[in-house]
Amino acid sequence: MTQAYLNGCEWLCEDCGKAAGLVDSYCNGGGEADSPQHCASCGAFLENPLTGDGYAYVAEQLDNSHGGDREVMTLWAEFYKNEDDDLDRAIEESGLIPGFKQWRREA
Ligand SMILES: [Zn+2]
């Protein structure tokens, strides 16, 4: 699991946190949040879990991904796939993961 370091109100990845001399680390990229967290210094994706609002946020970003940062969107899609029906639908429609089909859960 990705460790993260809190620097004031900003999250840093493990490398940047250690480089900044921070001591306390947090597991799961700092924990559940309303959006994917990235290192404030180098931009590395911290792989944090998402709240329900967080899944909706990512699905919305994927729907609007034309002109967005497809590299970042793909990181998110790969990490959060198969966790939320609406997000899976957005991933399938975005085409960011070739061949990805939404896994439809049994009712
Ligand atoms: Zn970093």
Q: Do 16 and 35 share a domain, yes or no?
A: yes
Q: Do 3 and 45 share a domain, yes or no?
A: yes
Q: Do 85 and 67 share a domain, yes or no?
A: yes
Residue 46 CA to residue 59 CA, distance in Å, equals 18
The token pair at 99 is 């061949």
| pTM beyond 0.85, yes or no | yes
At 65, the pLDDT band (50, 70, 90 cuts) reads: low
Instruction: Give the distance (Å) from ligand 1 centre to CA of residue 51.
Output: 23
Q: Is the pLDDT of residue 107 over 60?
A: no
Instruction: Give the distance (Å) from ligand 1 centre to CA of residue 28.
Output: 15
Q: Do 57 and 32 share a domain, yes or no?
A: no
With contact defined as beta carbons under 8 Å apart, do 52 and 20 qualify? no
Residue 26's DSSP bridge partners are 4
The pocket of ion ligand 1, defined by CB under 5 A, consists of: 13, 16, 39, 41-42, 44
Q: How much is the average pLDDT of 30-53?
A: 97
> What's the domain range around 75?
52-94
Instruction: Give the distance (Å) from ligand 1 centre to CA of residue 96.
Output: 24
Q: Do 1 and 45 share a domain, yes or no?
A: yes
Count of the separate structural domains present in the chain: 2
